[in-house]
Structure 1
Amino acid sequence: MELRRALVRAAVSRPGVLLAASPGATRQRLAVEAELARRGWACVGGPAEADLFVILGDREGEDEAEGEGGEGDWVAALWQGIPAPKARVWVTDPGRVADALDSGLADLVRGEHGNDHAPDAPDSHHEHHEHHEHHEHHEHHEHQQNGDHPTPPSEHSGHDMHGGHHGHAGHDMGLVEGLPMADRADDRDGLRLDVLHVPLGPVLADWPAGLILRLTLQGDLVQEATVEPVTTPPSPHPPFWDEPWLRAASGKHISRGDAARRLCAAHLDSLGRFFAVAGWNDMAARTRHARDRALAGAAAAELTSLVRPLIRRAQRSRTLRWLTTGLGTLPAEQARQRGVTGPALVADGDAYNRMLVWLDVVGRSAADCDVTEALDPAEVVGPRGRLDTPVPPSKAMLDSLPKLLKGTEFACARIIVASLDPDLDELTHVPAPGTVHSHG
């Protein structure tokens, strides 16, 4: 028994972590990602690779979220898909992330059932099943880091294109021993090709929290896409990334430097997802380190020294340009018609153009992080766009996704989503009447 426990302890000293973030849990996600980077623990792409399941978000309204498509539904499905040995924690307090992770690791090592009343982490939920087998996937993950060039999507998107939400892949599909079977239809060349209904999300690595994207595929082409956000209880708290501008609009004193710091971190967060989805893991890690330093209050000089090499490296990468040029083209005129504002409007082009806009804003905002003068309350433009319109900027981007995805290759779908990086926190925010963004 002691030998078995020692072996398990050695195997899970750096567990594979599956993150499940709900809309509204951005602050918790950022705190967990920073702590995981400090510990050298790897985030994994799906349940089969996971040891520790980390659920992020408030547990208030958990019962209301239960049901088909609700939060409780997909959380339970993900947990069932993780092989033993496994443990889980529920992180609600960004200040107690280290305690929660320590408690989850202890549960994993002990091989004992946890409970909801752990004295060292009262707001974390722990659960463990006895040891049967352990998949040593961590070494494989650590060797996936790439140096100067991204990996083409076809080489890395196979197993992680599908999230934990598999139970509703389409009502017109046949089943053989639980596996979805394709229908058949004429393609644009008049041939009879398989038609597959594929759900992506709501939990994928480097994926907008709470987004479910249902794709109809014929061959490797997207024929139809439907956007379906996860049902989440409304929140009175402002979206984390929009917070400085919304607080300034409500009359609070916010410095231009604080707003610039949040803007810089927001775009670095988006760039980290974009680089990771494109297969450039080393660049994604460096970008997230700069993001974490921005959020930790690093001075403008330090931030500028961190982001300048990243900007140059991304701008000079021919591979990245080749991978992302021509994907999800959104001309400025179409963006205006659809209510899209912010970087997606300014870019006036494809996924690569949107990345360039993010890089430009990161460079300028990093240099302004120490400015102390007050932010103009009328300046209500957050990282995704204008915050004083009837529709949140991320809602306009989500509404644009189906047309951007139609006709594209399946392997490129995630790059297009990452190049917009909609923030579903904006859809859950229900502000007080008369304030900025008072919409349904």
Structure 2
Amino acid sequence: MDVTGLALRAAAVRPHVLLVTLPGGTAARLEAERLVRLRDWPPAVTPAGADLLLVLGPDRPDLRAAVDRLWRDFPGPRARVHAPGAADVEAALEAGRARLANPARQRGRLGEPDADAPDGGEGGEGGPPARAPSGGAGDEGASGVHGRRGHEDGARQPDAAGRHGAGRGDSGMSHSAAEESRNHHDGDADGDGDVHGDAGHLGHGGHGEHGGHGEHGGHGEHGAHGSHGSHGSSHGSHGGHAGHGGHAGHGSGDMANPGGLPMAGQAEDRDGLTLDRLHVPLGPFLDSWPAGLTIRLALQGDVVQEAEAEAEVEEPARPGTAAREAFWVQPWLRAAAGEPVSAGEAARRRAASHLDSLVRLLSVAGWPAEAVAAGRLRDDLLSGAPGDAVTPRLKRFARRVGRSRTLAWLTHGIGRLNTADARAAGVSGPAARAGGDVTDRYRQWLADVRRDVGRLEEPSPLRPAVDDSPRGRWRDDRPPSAALVALLPGLLTGSELAAARLVVASLDPDLDELTAARSGVAARG
């Protein structure tokens, strides 16, 4: 009796799917989330809990290494597929399930953590990669995207027991810490003992009680992070700081540190206290995170001392693709190009975009039930549901979320931005109109969604120069998300690490807008 084959086929009935969205992959992500929910396949937020890695969006060579590190964290049995566009998603899911259930494919990689690398490297099978029937979905070959995301996002519903939740991240490193860090460490230690991490190690993070530094390459328990929940990146396990060549010990002579992992250095914080100083990147892949965004933080204790935002933007490979990949602003870009677009169509896309932003924020805040409700409303709007069919459920959703005392308490006072400062920084749209903290911004989204759902049948033409896109108004080829990205370092500096994820989620910049602007697409009218 083939017990292994039987177990594989049973596991492939409802595989746990980890979605990785590349810039330009918004349409594919939305389709994947819809199909995974309809199939009742459990979504995964960490490699350790996933069976199937689904990479979504057009190939990005500059991000292959980050996804490659993510892939190596997957335990077996496992499968990886790639869906460049929304039309490829269903075929990719079927191809992934078939590979999971194939004993011949899985037996050859038991004990070979990297044996599924389709380029034949690192224990790969070699040969041309298999593709899904559509021709667009399947394992990535030499031109595909591969990788690993190393950290978990513990999710739990907000409660009064802890201000920022209490989910614990868990990385589950498959190699020894020293070997892993020597192979994949691309940070360095500067003269003052700062320890630099690897952006690829921060995928799908949860701050996991913020004791989550406990296994972070020998950085100690960092108990100062106590109980700050699921809003960031758990730094557990990834001993990405090992090795450091001849820098081992950071001034301790030749004395080796436990496991070959250097301790964090120390520096004075803004209050004159001497605390550990860590350089921690968030992104480019995190659960409920803007695709392609990386924020590099300098931390002392659990307080962000410095922040730098990096947007992974590149010129589109083919002319004309940028506008198609900028999913949320397509009506405005089409209207600017002279196509007839109704205000009702724009209102539908804008309402769906705000609901998508609410999905991210509620997921980060640890309220998965309402995140699912927001996702269903979003998908109904995108599928063309009439306003009368959506309005009753939307009212109930807006009442539950908007009046939630726990959610308001969780987000109160975080990321304050008054309207005058927002306008001065070039911010428009909901972030400027809200004029307050995270609580004010998600309530503004709720109000805007209810207003737009009442305008779904409006026949008047869209005026791109007057009607705001989901994140604001375009000015001189400068998309509104550019101002939101530029604003993030100032809002994050001085905040707690656990609150950083909430701040980002409450602004939710869309990096696809930056790609469209770089390719010369502007919304004027």
Whichever residue aligns with residue 139 of structure 2, its letter is H
| 1:371 maps to 2:458 | yes
Q: Quick one: distance in 1 between partners of 2:315 and 2:521?
A: 21
Which residue matches 1:295?
Answer: 382
Q: Is contact 2:156–2:165 with CA below 8 Å preserved after alignment?
A: no
| 1:194 maps to 2:314 | no
2:88 to 88, 96, 99: 96
Q: Is contact 2:315–2:518 with CA below 8 Å preserved after alignment?
A: no
Q: Secondary structure at the match of 1:29?
A: helix
Unmatched segments (≥5 aa) in structure 1: 129-139
RMSD, aligned CA = 2.8
Which residue matches 1:75?
Answer: 67
Q: Shift in Å at residue 103 of structure 1?
A: 0.8
Q: Shift in Å at residue 5 of structure 1?
A: 1.1
Identity, % of aligned positions: 42
Whichever residue aligns with residue 63 of structure 2, its letter is E
Q: Shift in Å at residue 306 of structure 1?
A: 2.0
* 1:221-370 superposed matches below 5 A: 221-234=303-316, 236=320, 237-238=322-323, 239-370=326-457
Q: Quick one: distance in 1 between partners of 2:383 and 2:462?
A: 20
Q: Is contact 1:152–1:278 with CA below 8 Å preserved after alignment?
A: no
Q: Shift in Å at residue 195 of structure 1?
A: 0.9
Closer, same or farther in 2 for the Cα pair 1:259/1:408, shift >3 Å? same
| 1:218 maps to 2:296 | no
Closer, same or farther in 2 for the Cα pair 1:402/1:94, shift >3 Å? same
Whichever residue aligns with residue 120 of structure 1, its letter is P
Which residue matches 1:56?
Answer: 56
Q: Secondary structure at the match of 1:257?
A: helix
Q: Quick one: distance in 1 between partners of 2:334 and 2:449?
A: 22
Q: Is contact 1:85–1:108 with CA below 8 Å preserved after alignment?
A: yes
Higher alpha-carbon deviation: 288-297 or 79-88: 79-88
Cα deviation 1:298-319 (Å, max 9, x = unaligned): 0011121221111111111000
Unmatched segments (≥5 aa) in structure 2: 106-117, 119-127, 142-151, 172-180, 196-240, 243-256
| 1:116 maps to 2:108 | no
Whichever residue aligns with residue 473 of structure 2, its letter is R
Runs of 4+ residues deviating >6 angstroms: 147-151
| 1:39 maps to 2:39 | yes
Which residue matches 2:17?
Answer: 17
Q: Quick one: distance in 2 between partners of 1:230 and 1:403?
A: 20
Q: Shift in Å at residue 231 of structure 1?
A: 4.9
Q: Quick one: distance in 2 between partners of 1:297 and 1:77?
A: 39
Q: Quick one: distance in 1 between partners of 2:378 and 2:160?
A: 21
Which residue matches 1:153?
Answer: 164
Closer, same or farther in 2 for the Cα pair 1:213/1:435, shift >3 Å? closer
Closer, same or farther in 2 for the Cα pair 1:409/1:144, shift >3 Å? closer
Q: Shift in Å at residue 400 of structure 1?
A: 0.7
Tell which structure's C-alpha radius of gyration is larger: 2
Q: Shift in Å at residue 376 of structure 1?
A: 2.9
Which residue matches 2:26?
Answer: 26
Which residue matches 2:470?
Answer: 383
Q: Shift in Å at residue 119 of structure 1?
A: 5.8
| 1:184 maps to 2:266 | yes
Q: Quick one: distance in 2 between partners of 1:418 and 1:209?
A: 12
Q: Shift in Å at residue 168 of structure 1?
A: 4.4
Cα deviation 1:26-61 (Å, max 9, x = unaligned): 1111111111111122322222222111111123xx
Q: Quick one: distance in 2 between partners of 1:330 and 1:157?
A: 30
Cα deviation 1:36-90 (Å, max 9, x = unaligned): 111122322222222111111123xx4xx2xxxx211112111112122111111
Q: Shift in Å at residue 327 of structure 1?
A: 0.6
TM score, norm. by length of structure 1: 0.87
Closer, same or farther in 2 for the Cα pair 1:255/1:390, shift >3 Å? closer
Cα deviation 1:69-119 (Å, max 9, x = unaligned): x21111211111212211111101312322210110110111444863446
Higher alpha-carbon deviation: 30-39 or 94-103: 94-103
Q: Secondary structure at the match of 1:226?
A: strand
Q: Shift in Å at residue 418 of structure 1?
A: 0.2
Higher alpha-carbon deviation: 80-89 or 233-242: 233-242
Cα deviation 1:357-385 (Å, max 9, x = unaligned): 10000001112112233223543520001
Q: Quick one: distance in 2 between partners of 1:178 and 1:118?
A: 41
Q: How many residues align?
A: 414
Between structures 1 and 2, the one with greater strand share = 1
Higher alpha-carbon deviation: 171-180 or 380-389: 171-180
Q: Shift in Å at residue 255 of structure 1?
A: 1.3
Q: Is contact 1:342–1:385 with CA below 8 Å preserved after alignment?
A: yes
TM score, norm. by length of structure 2: 0.73
Q: Quick one: distance in 2 between partners of 1:182 and 1:147?
A: 32
Q: Quick one: distance in 1 between partners of 2:343 and 2:168?
A: 39
Higher alpha-carbon deviation: 282-291 or 70-79: 70-79
Q: Shift in Å at residue 434 of structure 1?
A: 7.9
Closer, same or farther in 2 for the Cα pair 1:156/1:227, shift >3 Å? same
Q: Quick one: distance in 2 between partners of 1:178 and 1:302?
A: 60
Q: Quick one: distance in 1 between partners of 2:37 and 2:161?
A: 20
Whichever residue aligns with residue 370 of structure 1, its letter is E
Q: Quick one: distance in 2 between partners of 1:433 and 1:221?
A: 39
